[in-house]
Structure 1
Amino acid sequence: MDLKRFIPDDWQLLLNDYLQSNDWRSLSKKFTIEYQQHRDAIRPDLERIFNAMHLTPVNQVKVVILGQDPYHSPGLAQGLAFSVPKDIPLQSKQFPSSLRNINKALALEGLGFLKSGDLSHWAKQGVLLLNTALSVRLGEANSHAQLGWKSLVIEIIQKLSQQPNLVWMLWGGHAQSMEEYIHNPNQHLILKSSHPSGLGVYKTKQPFIYPGDQKSCGHFTKANTYLTTHQKSPIAWTGSSKQEFRLSPNG
């Protein structure tokens, strides 16, 4: 399988050296074998595996949010970290706990609530929603972690971080383990907290949400303040609050 043909041209250009490496050849071979054996069980769908790259062009990346691997439950994975299709009701059992807590954090920061769990509007504003494994087998979390996706993600992090003034949101130990690959960390804003899923959201010395739901880690507001300071337009995280826009004279 020519896996490279699913990657947008601008990302192919950024990753040109890597896409000629043994790591990429190994990843492509392993994924092809997995796809041939478990085609109907692989998520997201083949054409959506690189969805984060399609929705966020290289020259528009302002914020990077690192997830782990796609949702392994049916009907959820769409190639964007943390995001689910907009037709998944916010109060349903299908709606992931991570997204519930992201929604809660946004509200605690005074930014309003998400209209749905579909975060494609973030991606289109320059938020790269990147999982460290880009595929998974249905019902088997982390089942594709050993295919070699990590080598691709490391390359993306290293290449992107060569341009200054990006915001990196590293939620949980897994995402924070990738921090070492960010070049010139002093030229970026690196935000760290516990992972927003389940009860872990309150844990660690840097909770995503503080116990008792008193306040959030403030990452969304901090990101917008940083972007505005560096002459970049802030992210309309929910699209429902003037606070998301008033920081920037450029909108």
Structure 2
Amino acid sequence: MGAVFDSDALFELEPAAADNLSFTDLARQPLAELVAPDWAGALAPVEAQLRQALDYVAGDAAGHEVLPSPSNVLRAFRQPLAGVRVLIVGQDPYPTPGHAVGLSFAVDGATRPIPRSLGNIYKELEADLGFPPRVHGDLGRWAEQGVLLLNRVLSVRAGAAGSHRGKGWEDVTAAAIRAVAERPADGGSGRAPLVAILWGKDAESVRPLLGSAAVIASAHPSPLSAARGFFGSHPFSRANALLQDQGNGTIDWELPPLP
């Protein structure tokens, strides 16, 4: 049985603040109010780059639609750093309005149809562990169990994939990945358990940041590449086996039928 994480431990923005937040507000808020407390410490060395990225997003949002919503841009860091067990690295948010929710590969639970890459992830999940594909793309259940769904770039202009690359986000997420990989184990001997799942060349580029962490790498689940090594890669069962080897339980990868 996998380890159980208390979802109440997740750091959340106050609902009223989330409802009224603009990108300009986001850029001005103290780091400790935007992310979980242990993430605030880990990201402090790259706060200047984070502010650079947030300022760029606020400026771009003055004339264009920017995704995801302000309250979701830093959503991946509301999951406590100490609880991360699996890292899944994405590229940048889905550029289709209504899709991006701040977690790599996930979409809003009401989005229909789900993106094709996520559909392929579900196909592999069924082939690997027998769990039926879901009609929704809410991956919050994975995040609650310590799966960090982290894009390398955390924002995008609607309709323009990759439009916010090179604006500072890469430095921030590189620091985040190092922080996950370098956490000391309980007792201070060695590193904390971690499995990194890297799909595609962009994700594999972070491998040098991971040190001695266990890595599962394959082709990207995109329809353009899934047949070239993603299908049949069994990432979910392999991740659980590696977690068990590290004494860190397993992830229950089955998602609820509806979000």
User: Conserved in 1, the CA contact under 8 Å of 2:38 and 2:81?
Assistant: yes
Task: Check if 1:103 corresponds to 2:125.
Answer: no
Distance, in Å, in 1 between the alignment partners of 2:58 and 2:99 is 22
Per-residue CA shift, 1:219-242, capped at 9, x if unaligned? 1001111112222121111158xx
Partner-residue secondary structure (3-state), 1:15: helix
User: Conserved in 2, the CA contact under 8 Å of 1:111 and 1:237?
Assistant: no
The residue number in structure 1 matching 2:61 is 35
The residue number in structure 1 matching 2:138 is 118
1:25, distance to aligned residue in structure 2 (A): 4.1
The residue number in structure 1 matching 2:210 is 182
The residue number in structure 1 matching 2:186 is none
The residue number in structure 1 matching 2:17 is none
- Trace 1:3-22 onto structure 2 (pairs within 5 A): 4=31, 5-19=33-47, 21=48
Alignment match of 1:85 (pick from 83, 102, 108): 108
User: Conserved in 2, the CA contact under 8 Å of 1:69 and 1:133?
Assistant: yes
1:30, distance to aligned residue in structure 2 (A): 2.3
Task: Check if 1:74 corresponds to 2:97.
Answer: yes
Identity among equivalent positions (%) equals 33
Query: What is the RMSD computed on CA atoms of the aligned residues?
Result: 1.7
Distance, in Å, in 1 between the alignment partners of 2:53 and 2:179 is 19
Stretches of structure 2 lacking an aligned partner (at least 5 in a row): 1-26, 184-190
Partner-residue secondary structure (3-state), 2:62: helix
Distance, in Å, in 1 between the alignment partners of 2:62 and 2:28 is 13
Distance, in Å, in 1 between the alignment partners of 2:101 and 2:43 is 22
Distance, in Å, in 2 between the alignment partners of 1:32 and 1:7 is 18
Distance, in Å, in 2 between the alignment partners of 1:161 and 1:47 is 26
Stretches of structure 1 lacking an aligned partner (at least 5 in a row): 210-215, 241-251
User: Conserved in 2, the CA contact under 8 Å of 1:83 and 1:118?
Assistant: yes
Amino acid at match of 1:68: Q
1:15, distance to aligned residue in structure 2 (A): 1.6
The residue number in structure 2 matching 1:26 is 52
Per-residue CA shift, 1:139-174, capped at 9, x if unaligned? 000011121100001101111111332100110001
- Trace 1:1-251 onto structure 2 (pairs within 5 A): 1-2=27-28, 4=31, 5-19=33-47, 21=48, 23-38=49-64, 41-54=65-78, 56-89=79-112, 92=113, 95-115=114-134, 116-163=136-183, 164=191, 165-183=193-211, 185=212, 188-203=213-228, 207-209=229-231, 216-239=232-255
TM-score by length of 1: 0.82
Distance, in Å, in 1 between the alignment partners of 2:160 and 2:51 is 24
User: Conserved in 1, the CA contact under 8 Å of 2:220 and 2:230?
Assistant: yes
Closer, same or farther: CA 239–208 of 1 in aligned 2, 3 Å: same
Partner-residue secondary structure (3-state), 2:216: strand
User: Conserved in 1, the CA contact under 8 Å of 2:57 and 2:66?
Assistant: no
